[in-house]
Every structure is written in C-alpha cells, then in structure tokens.
Structure 1
Amino acid sequence: MSVYIGNLSHEVEDKDIRYVFLKYGSIKKILLSTTQKTGAKIKFAVVEMESNNEEIAAIHGLRGTEWMGYSLRVNRANSITDIASSC
C-alpha cells in the first residue's frame, strides 16, 4: 500500500513531504508528480512507507489537514510503480 497525497501546493518539494511524513514512520519512496513535457509539478504525490500501519497512521493524521494554503486529500494509493508509469 502507498499513500496518495493530493491538492498540494505547486511549491512543495520532496523534502517538505518527507518532513511531514516522518512524523508517522520511515519512508521508502516519495514520488512527486511532474508533467513529462515540461517537468512542472502537478498537485499530487505518492509516499511509500515501511509498513502498512505507518501508512494508515499518515492517512488518518493528514487527511483534510491545511498545509501551505491547501486542504490535503490523503488516501490509499495504488502501488507507487503503477502511479509512476501513469505520470
């Protein structure tokens, strides 16, 4: 399981996401979505954590949180590999 985090600011960086998610456990991967043509950031990311319990805690802890001026959408995601291939 991975965590989808949507409605992100265009200014968010991997390090910002890492900082927020480390509160819930160890992070294996972060995929910050970008467009293939321009490399511009799209407003979502996927985070894969070490355990399902950590991912569930992050989902419950962050869902609806106001961050950088946006209300986050946080849910279970498909595998990070599936999402990476669709970006």
Structure 2
Amino acid sequence: MKNNIPDIAQCIEHNIRQYFKDLDGETPCAVYDMVLNQVEKPLLACVMEECGGNQSKAAAMLGLNRNTLRKKLLQHGLLEA
C-alpha cells in the first residue's frame, strides 16, 4: 500500500462486506457475476483510455484476444456496434 491508499483488493473486500451488510438479512443472488461486472467495466474503460482507444494494444495489455476485448466492450456499452 503506497501513501496509505488501499489496494484494489482491499477496496473490493470493503465494498462486498458493505453490500452484505446493506442487504440486512436479504439473501444475496448472483454475487460473482455482479462483482465481475462492476470491476470489469471500469477496468476496460481505463485501459482503453490508457491505450488511446487502440484495441490491439489494450487487448495485449489485458492479456486478452482482441475479439474477446471487442465483445466485452460491446457488452459494457463501451463500444458502438
């Protein structure tokens, strides 16, 4: 942790714990997909910005196939069909 800034895992853990607390006894559903969706969209947006919109460069940075990246960008509304 640099400069007392929490790392990503700590932020996610804190928010998941708060999510369960906020449910106030309700049964959670599809938590795995919810968390991945919440993390994936900003990750893709930030990487695309860092790469100047270059999908090939972004795919390489993420360790994804370019077609997989395009599919995910479309799913998250980060790319027009």
Normalising by structure 1, we get a TM-score of: 0.26
Whose Rg is larger?
2
Q: Quick check: which one's helix share is greater? A: 2
Normalising by structure 2, we get a TM-score of: 0.27
